[in-house]
């Protein structure tokens, strides 16, 4: 979760936690253009500000995903100091730029393999029906192909 959004909607964070879901840190401000060249203090601030908000709302955070998958020179050390594991994706759904749900569904189901992590988004950047209906169809398609959805284990992840 993005810290600034979690700060605006702490009740949603609490609801997600109450339903037993895992929450990861996705920085405080989701910097798209300059995270790759941010200094150590900026990286620390993005992590810490988000962690503070998420923990205050009841989340036990162990995972981190970089905005746009950007890896920063200081990120590995900062994550290690906070006992956070970096999680990336192996299948990009394209939901933020797809013209329709079928494109998203096909892209995911045609590229998924055992152990895959699927990247999908929420919010205004994705048309609601693409997000909801594509996710529903993807989950059904995965089930029909014999897949099950599991959470990454913290001990099995490493920084890459």
Q: Where in the chain is the domain with CATH 3.20.20.370?
A: 3-88
Instruction: Write out the two tokens for 81.
Output: 């100091």
Q: Grade residue 155 by pLDDT with cuts at 50, 70 and 90.
A: low
Strand partners, 118: 91
Q: What are phi and psi of 8, to 5 degrees?
A: -75, -30
Alpha-helical runs (H) found in 9-114: 10-18, 40-56, 75-81, 101-111
The CATH H-level superfamily of 3-88 is Glycoside hydrolase/deacetylase (3.20.20.370)
Instruction: Write out the two tokens for 8.
Output: 């605006």
The predicted structure's pLDDT at residue 157: 55
- Single pTM value for the model: 0.85
**58-112: pLDDT as tens digits:** 999 999 999 988 889 999 999 999 999 999 999 999 888 887 899 999 999 999 9
Q: Grade residue 154 by pLDDT with cuts at 50, 70 and 90.
A: low
Give the HSE-up count for residue 124: Cα atoms under 13 Å, Cβ half-sphere. 1
Residue that has been written with the tokens 């990247």 in this structure: 119
126, 99 in Cβ contact below 8 A? no
């Amino acid at each position: 979760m993005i810290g600034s959004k979690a700060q605006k909607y702490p009740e949603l964070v609490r609801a997600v936690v109450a339903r037993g879901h895992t929450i990861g840190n996705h920085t405080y401000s989701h910097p798209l253009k300059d995270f790759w060249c941010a200094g150590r203090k900026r990286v620390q601030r993005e992590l810490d500000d988000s962690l503070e908000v998420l923990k205050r709302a009841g989340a036990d955070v162990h995972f981190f995903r970089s905005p746009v998958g950007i890896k920063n020179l200081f990120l590995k050390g900062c994550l290690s100091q906070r006992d956070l594991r970096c999680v990336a994706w192996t299948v990009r759904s394209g939901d933020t730029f797809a013209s329709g749900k079928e494109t998203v569904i096909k892209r995911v189901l045609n590229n998924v393999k055992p152990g895959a992590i699927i990247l999908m988004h929420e919010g205004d950047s994705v048309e609601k029906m693409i997000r909801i209906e594509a996710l529903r169809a993807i989950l059904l398609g995965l089930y029909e192909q014999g897949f099950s959805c599991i959470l990454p284990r913290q001990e099995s992840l490493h920084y890459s």
